[in-house]
Structure 1
Amino acid sequence: MSRDWDAIVIGAGPAGMAAAATLAEGGARTLLLDEQAEPGGQIYRAIERNRGNARLSGILGPDYLYGTTLTERLRASGAHLRFSSTVWRVEPGAAVWSRTNGTVALDRAKALVIATGAMERPVPLAGWTLPGVMTVGALQVLLKTGGLVPSGKLVLAGTGPLFYLFARQCLDAGVEHLTLLDTARSGNIPAALLHLPRAFTGQGWRYLAKGAGLLASLRVGRVKLLRGVSGITIEGEDRATAIRFRVGKTPHRLTCDLVGLHEGVIPQQQIPRSLGCPFDWNDAQSCFQPRRDAWGASTLPGIFIAGDAGGIIGAQASRHEGDATALAVLAELGRITPTERDARLRSVRHARDAHLSARPFLDRLYRPGPDLVTPPDPVTICRCEAVCAGSLRQAVERGALGPSQAKVFLRVGMGPCQGRLCGPSVTGLIARETGRSEAEIGYYRIRDPIKPVTVGELASASRRGAPR
């Protein structure tokens, strides 16, 4: 199956929904693709189902319910929506291969907007592969999609806004045995305080007030909170049963039934990298981000990147950036004039920037520590291929000076996740071992298929007369 469009948008989170709606409202024939069965992305996952659930909506909060505004606008925009669709290959010239319910399709467009959002930063530490250890994001997905609430003794280890937001949601959901281990370093505070005055401008004060409210509610709920945590090790045979750590030089040990890990989020990199988009190292956010201009245009013709996929900015700023990117695409398509584009962009970008005023403060306050990418030798760093940190260090000693070379030595990054979970850790560890920067080390060379597709599905597509 093959079809041509004016624009294709990949991702139905805040940026993708806003971009697709603006494009369709502007008269562009627009296709929106997303892996989930419904719109919302990660932040507004299952919003259409949950808005009628008073109890769950109360737990998830008003910021989550705002997603209904975006989904309603998207549904009414006239954009063609194709959910449960996995993009497994993207070609230059905005040609997108996807699979939907076992059917392979090729769609072409004059412009492509990549709005694939963010993923949680991998946290390789002793015991992280044990059953009973999940990411905080995964625990929140279970809450949003199934109303599932953690039972038993829950320990959340990490830091960042989502870390504290989910802790509050657990408290509201009735979780009784909750302990928080905050890994943020006290040394982050002086650097963060330099950006505090700016954080009170625009919409930044709302983010600061929300954070203060979260902390206050946790204190009122008598949630146990330990700060300055390091040296985390999760114990267990068949599943996680205890967690060891240090606060300063003092060792601690807690029994537990479930552990949630979280060290912030980073942009999804696979699709832009597979196209050959250049990436730069963002030192403030400790991650790579694609190079693009103020309107979201990458260095490749017709390829745009919006929202957290281009650098972590949050849901509200992503929504405005989706609108801004769509306006740039509409001008490129000739649907609006450059003058109209610039006039509309001024207000959209002003609204986006208002939500970014607190970002420098948050980035530095929750900056991950260097030990996150220097785990002990026995710790598994590539889960798909069961490669430990010690093996990677040995490969570096034998001459593997980058992730793609390490892949040849050890098969790291060659499993089903195609390097999503190990890539940041592999880059960071090689950088520490060689004394070079992450920018110098680089990242895996991403190859197709980006996500698994079966030979049978390709053969079936060929029999139906697909172009390739």
Structure 2
Amino acid sequence: MSQDWDAIVIGAGPAGMAAAATLAEDGARTLLLDEQAEPGGQIYRAIERNRGNARLSAILGPDYSRGAALVERLRASGAHLRFSSTVWRVEEGPAVWSRTDGQVVHERAEALVIATGAMERPVPVAGWTLPGVMTVGALQILLKTGGLVPSGKFVLAGTGPLFYLFARQCLDAGVEHLTLLDTAQARNIPDALPHLPRALTGHGWRYLAKGVGLLAALTIGRAQLFRGVSEIAIEGEERATAIRFRTRRAPHRLACELIGLHEGVIPQQQLPRSLGCSFDWDHTQSCFQPRRDAWGASTLPGIFIAGDAGGVVGAEASRHEGDAAALAILAELGRITPIERDSRLRSAQKARDAHLSARPFLDRLYRPRPDLVAPPDPVTVCRCEAVCAGSLRQAVARGALGPSQAKAFLRVGMGPCQGRLCGPSVTGLIARETGRSEAETGYYRVRDPIKPVTVGELARASQPNAARYGD
């Protein structure tokens, strides 16, 4: 089945919603696809359902509630919204293959906006695959979608803005037994300080003030706080029962029932990599980022990347990046003039930059520690195929110089997640073992299907008399 659009947007977070709304408001036939059942992405997840929940809204804070206005704008824009839809293939042209309720649809457009957001950086430590160990992002999803909060002895280990935000939300939600293991490195401070003056401009001072407030609340709150934490290892047989770690002063061991791990977020890479978009290594954020211009255009014609999928910028800046990509597409479609495009782009870029003034400071302050990609040999790196760090090191010793070669040696990255959870760690470990840069080491070659699709679904989609979606 096929259908044509002026533009297709993948992802209903801040960037995707803004892009789709701007496109549709100016008359472009726009399709928005998202895996979730409702708009909002990760940051504004379940915002429509939670608007009437005063207690949960108070816990999640005003930044979360701000997403309601963007969702309302999207709903009123005239964009065609298709939720619970999984994109499993994208092609140059561009074209998108998606799966909704067991039905496969092939759709073409003049332009494609990839706004799939960010993912949490993998944290391969001993015991991280045990039941009772989750990412902070997963825990926050439970809070937003079901109002669920951790109970019992709860430990948060990691660092970064989301780490501190969720810790504060836990305290506001009434979590009583919370321990924080802050892995931020003091040696990052000298690198970050030169960027502090810029961080105080634009909206940067607001972000810094919010961060100071979070840290103050955690310091005087009910949480126990350890700073300068390293050498984290989780104990347990059938589930996590304790966590070991070291501070500057001594080793520690804490009994616990639930552990949340978080070491920052990085762009989702799968879709643009499957297309063949060019990527660069960003030393500041310690991750790969797709190469883009001021509009968010990738290195392939008609393919735009907006928001955290192009480099972690946060919700507000992502919204303005979605607007910028939409303006470029509208001009190409002839819906607006180049003069109007440039005028509106200047406004979007100014607003975006105001929200990014603190980003260089924060990126350096919370830069991940080097040993995050160098776990001990017994630690599992690829969870799907149960490949440990030691096996990967042996593959490197036998001549594997990159993730795709390691895949041939070990099946690393060939499981259901297709390398999403191990890719960053595999690149980092191989680079460390070979003495080459991450850019030289590279990343997996990502292949279709990006997400599972059955042979039966493909067969039905290929039938000549198959009706279009929604007919």
* Fold conserved between structures, TM > 0.5: yes
Deviation at 1:219, TM superposition (A): 2.1
Provide Cα deviations, 1:24-47, integer angstroms capped at 9, x if missing partner: 001100000000000000000000
Q: Distance in 2 between matches of 1:302 and 1:334?
A: 14
1:265-298 deviations in Å (ceiling 9; x for gaps): 0000000000000000000000000001011001
2:348 matches 1:319: no
Amino acid corresponding to residue 391 of structure 1 in structure 2: S
1:222 pairs with 2:222: yes
- Report if the CA contact (8 A) 1:21-1:73 is conserved: yes
Q: Distance in 2 between matches of 1:243 and 1:439?
A: 34
Distance in 2 (CA, whole Å) between partners of 1:222 and 1:151 is 14
Any idea what the Cα deviations from partners look like across 1:218-241, whole Å, max 9, x if unmatched?
Answer: 123131111110000000011000
Instruction: Give 3-state SS (helix, strand or coil) of 1:187's partner.
Output: helix
Aligned pairs for 1:164-313 within 5 A: 164-248=164-248, 250-313=250-313
2:436 maps to 1:436: yes
How far apart in 1 are the matches of 2:365 and 2:464? 54
**2:36 match:** 36
**Residue in 1 that maps onto 2:77:** 77
Q: Match for 1:402: what amino acid?
A: G
Report the alpha carbon displacement of residue 160 of structure 1 after superposing the two structures with TM: 0.2
Aligned to 1:110: 110
CA 1:342–1:418 in 2, change beyond 3 Å: closer, same or farther? same
Aligned position for 2:148: 148
- 2:388 maps to 388
Query: Per the alignment, in what secondary structure is the counterpart of residue 400 of structure 2?
Result: coil
C-alpha distance in 1 between matches for 2:279 and 2:116: 16
Q: Contact between 2:117 and 2:307, CA under 8 Å: does it hold in 1?
A: yes
For structure 1, which segment, 311-320 or 215-224, has the greater mean C-alpha deviation from structure 2 after superposition? 215-224
Segment drifting more, 148-157 vs 212-221: 212-221
Matched AA of 2:71 = T
**Deviation for aligned residue 1:329:** 0.8
Q: Which amino acid is the alignment partner of residue 192 of structure 2? A: A
User: Could you tell me which amino acid in structure 1 is paired with residue 30 of structure 2?
Assistant: T
Identical-residue share of aligned pairs (%): 85
Paired with 1:58 and 1:305, the residues of 2 have a C-alpha distance of 33
Count of residues paired in the alignment: 468
Local SS of the residue matching 2:7: strand
Q: Matched residues in 1 for 2:424 and 2:453: separation?
A: 24
1:171 partner letter: L
Which residue number in structure 1 is paired with residue 335 of structure 2?
A: 335
Deviations 1:140-168 (A, max 9, x none): 00000111110001100000000000000
CA offset at residue 203 of structure 1? Answer: 0.2
- In 1, are the aligned partners of 2:171 and 2:222 still within 8 Å (CA)? no
Alignment RMSD (CA, Å) = 1.1
TM-score (norm 1): 0.99
User: How far apart are 1:249 and its partner, in Å?
Assistant: 5.1
In structure 1, how many angstroms separate the alpha carbons of the residues matched to 2:407 and 2:178? 39
Cα distance between partner residues in 2 of 1:322 and 1:462: 34
Which runs of structure 1 show a deviation greater than 4 angstroms over 4 or more consecutive aligned residues? none
Cα drift, residue 190 of structure 1: 0.6
Tell me the distance in 1 between the aligned counterparts of 2:218 and 2:429. 35
State the alpha-carbon separation in 1 of the partners of residues 248 and 101 from structure 2: 52
Shift of 1:314: 0.4
Cα deviation, residue 250, structure 1: 1.1
Matched letter for residue 261 of structure 2: L
- What letter corresponds to residue 266 of structure 1 in structure 2? I
- The answer to whether the Cα contact below 8 Å between 1:120 and 1:264 also exists between their aligned partners in 2 is yes
CA displacement 1:376-409 (0-9 Å, x = unmatched): 0000000000000000000000001000000000
Q: Deviations over 1:74-124 (max 9, x none)?
A: 000000000000000001111000001111001100000000000000000
2:286 aligned partner, one-letter code: S
Shift of the alpha carbon at 1:460? 2.1
**5+ long unaligned stretches in structure 2:** none
Report deviation, 1:465: 3.7
Where 2:186 maps in the other structure, the secondary structure is: coil
For 2:333 and 2:351, how far apart are their aligned partners in 1?
24
State how far apart, in whole Å, the 2-side matches of 1:272 and 1:194 are: 34
Contact kept, 8 Å, 1:323 with 1:348, in 2: the verdict is yes
Q: What does residue 3 of structure 1 align with?
A: 3
Q: Assess if the C-alpha contact under 8 Å between 1:2 and 1:466 holds in 2.
A: no
Contact 2:178 / 2:222 at 8 angstroms: preserved in 1? no
1:216 deviation in Å? 1.4
Paired amino acid for 1:417: C
- Unaligned 5+ segments in structure 1 are none
Q: CA deviation at 1:463?
A: 3.2
Equivalent-residue separation in structure 1 for 2:361 and 2:325 (angstroms): 26
Q: For the residues of structure 2 that align with 1:463 and 1:270, how far apart are their CA atoms? A: 29
What corresponds to 1:363 in structure 2? Answer: 363
Q: 1:466 Cα shift?
A: 5.4
Q: Which amino acid in structure 2 is aligned with residue 375 of structure 1?
A: P
Q: Match of 2:413, SS?
A: coil
- Provide the C-alpha distance between the structure 2 equivalents of 1:392 and 1:378, rounded to a whole number of angstroms: 11
SS in 1 for 2:352: helix
- Which letter does structure 2 place at the counterpart of 1:13? G
- Find the aligned partners of 2:412 and 2:143 in 1 and give their Cα distance: 32
Aligned-partner Cα distance in 1 for 2:362–2:430: 27
- The answer as to whether partners of 2:317 and 2:352 remain within 8 angstroms in 1 is yes
- Decide which moves more: 312-321 or 458-467: 458-467
SS at match of 2:240: coil
Equivalent position amino acid for 1:434 in 2: T
